[in-house]
Structure 1
């Protein structure tokens, strides 16, 4: 584990949604459009037709048709029985080197399992993904939860405990860039970020954990703690999504918060010693 001066690129994802940066001759617009199509399937959108993809991405139907044909030929998309598109195994193959390089996933699992059993929720490790987070590991001990995410699940940084924990690892300059990216790309979130997210980031830095009590989803209380920042500049945090009927808001703050802080410390110790 090591800290880094490498800046976080909060707007990295959204660049592919632009028509291309005229000032950047190296920007491959066609490639970006293809990645936009793949991104449309995030978080279990199910199968999508060319018309669905055109609507979601803003691309023309002929462009979408050419891109889906190419992506299907390469194994990144496949057709279902109705001729609609689903993600193909090429996506999983491409992700394998990324996941296998994150050794913290294997080391942390026993500790995560213990916390999941205690809380009756889902424990995950997350990293920033543009203005969102993405789970790189997740574990639960029961299916009796209202939300069951898996590796690759994404959600907004702004309203979640895990997002605030990740943002607490950033520098002040990086936080300013984050706010500017929100203003440019998700203006509807800006007021919330300024009023709630930024103060909660400071609170996380003070006490070591962050909370989101039904802000992201009403039926879920989130508690998270920052883990560390790698030499490459990647940030990681650990969180638990807990059904709101299991603990009161006061218990989440008084009991679960210090416990997840302890979990984060134990995970860091494992990483430092391996």
Structure 2
């Protein structure tokens, strides 16, 4: 399949502008043109034109005294509209908050974005200090439980679309990880990437997929915590089954059945 950038329908300028918006992270205290250039891979002169345009349209604001850009009111409005359109998150909130409190783990939901898993909502246990991830946190697909759960429920068409989009030297691994995850999902309802295969040695997590009617792709619900409080044994005995049960409750409310579509 050919690169989208070679497709005459593909608007490169728009794509570059969106990549500037995507460069911002929740922990940023503003970004300069140089930082945006480094994160996007775009020339600084191109970034300068794009940030000027995005400021003019309200998607960025510029604070001159330290020459930094911030997401603007138009970006906030767009984000709020997008969040409101995904009703399953609101429906899931009381279920997932109860799960977070019961397991003393962080519960989250992540989507695939630009070849990574992006956390878009979290639920933290009550009366506990902050836990390791926030909205906007990104995880690799191949070496995270969240990514494995996502891969395990993809159709052939969805997987082809993903591997075409990421275009890296690891694309042949997506099928392998997906098949392993699919087997785990069929056997126990959740996916776990353990030990040296996991992208973080200090964090452990378990994940299970969900297909919202409002979204074109599956998402993944996750339960995670530092490894000292969330061992593989605890996942198997307690947290994994509890996460699966919580997502099953969400499915029963929303009427979204669970299906692993057969792939070759």
Residues 100-119 of structure 1 deviation map (CA, whole Å, 9 limit, x = unaligned) = 12111122111111111122
Whether 1:252 aligns to 2:235 is yes
- Give the alignment's TM-score, normalised by structure 1: 0.80
Aligned residues between the structures:
251
Q: CA deviation at 1:210?
A: 0.9
Residues 143-169 of structure 1 deviation map (CA, whole Å, 9 limit, x = unaligned) = 43541312x443332222222222222
- Give the alignment's TM-score, normalised by structure 2: 0.82
Q: CA deviation at 1:235?
A: 1.6
Select the structure with the greater relative contact order (CA < 8 A; seq sep ≥ 6).
1
* Contact 2:224–2:230, Cα closer than 8 Å, also in 1: no
**1:149 match: secondary structure:** coil
Tell me which of 21, 39, 43 is aligned to 1:60: 43
Residues 74-108 of structure 1 deviation map (CA, whole Å, 9 limit, x = unaligned) = 22112234111122232121122221121111221
Whether 1:160 aligns to 2:138 is no
Q: CA deviation at 1:194?
A: 5.7
Say which is worse superposed, 68-77 or 122-131, in terms of deviation: 122-131
CA distance in 1, matches of 2:111, 2:42: 29
* Contact 1:126–1:136, Cα closer than 8 Å, also in 2: yes
Q: CA deviation at 1:139?
A: 0.9
Tell me which of 198, 221, 225 is aligned to 1:238: 221
* Contact 1:224–1:237, Cα closer than 8 Å, also in 2: yes
* Contact 1:117–1:140, Cα closer than 8 Å, also in 2: yes
Tell me which of 183, 205, 208 is aligned to 1:202: 183
Corresponding residue for residue 8 of structure 1: none
Tell me which of 106, 114, 122 is aligned to 1:122: 106
**2:112 match: secondary structure:** strand
Write the mapping of 1:19-58 to structure 2, written as runs, cut at 5 A: 20-21=5-6, 24-58=7-41
Tell me which of 86, 92, 96 is aligned to 1:112: 96
* Contact 1:40–1:53, Cα closer than 8 Å, also in 2: yes
**1:210 match: secondary structure:** coil
Q: CA deviation at 1:222?
A: 0.8
Task: Return 5+ residue gaps in structure 2 as ranges.
Answer: 257-264
Q: CA deviation at 1:173?
A: 3.9
**2:193 match: secondary structure:** strand
* Contact 1:112–1:139, Cα closer than 8 Å, also in 2: yes
Corresponding residue for residue 86 of structure 2: 102
* Contact 1:99–1:136, Cα closer than 8 Å, also in 2: no
